[in-house]
Amino acid sequence: MSESKYESKITSAPCSAAQIYRVLSNMENLERVREFIPQDKVQEMEVSADRVRMKVDGLAQKITIAIVDRIENDTVKFGAEGIPMDANFWIQLKEVSPTDTRIKLTVKADIPFMFKMMVDKKLQQGLDQAAEMLAQFPYSQWGS
């Protein structure tokens, strides 16, 4: 196993860090976007404020993604259970102004060496896409 660290490009969201943090630090907000989650890839999703548990296509058991640490208006850190490797990821926020917050995603995972070359590029691309998506999300429209 080789611990690998991936960082997204830094993106900019047109709102405050507090608005973004309020949405991302509560997993129950996933209920608001459930309709956009591909039903053929994710089933049996159970959501609470601190975790989401689901059956993901291609994995034998349910996985859990849980918030393991929060730093108000700064960082939300997640851990994953039920996947075939140790992994965690976090979202960092840096408010430049009340209408400009920078977002960066970081993933740390113990990836078996034989898979690392296969997943490196796809994981980096996925992380950059997720950062872009988070930057475009309408946080100001979600009161809490």
User: Which pLDDT tens digits describe the chain residue by residue (144 residues)?
Assistant: 578 899 999 999 999 999 999 999 999 988 877 777 777 778 888 899 999 998 887 777 788 899 999 999 999 999 988 877 788 999 999 999 999 999 999 999 888 887 878 888 888 898 999 999 999 988 888 764
Residue 77, beta-bridge partner list = 69, 90
Tell me, what's the pLDDT at 1? 59
Tell me, what's the pLDDT at 143? 60
Element (H, E) at 136: helix 113-136
Q: Give pTM, 2 decimals.
A: 0.86
Residue with tokens 């690392």: 116
Residue 99's CB: how many other CB atoms inside 10 A?
12
Q: Which CATH class, in words, describes the domain spanning 2-141?
A: alpha beta
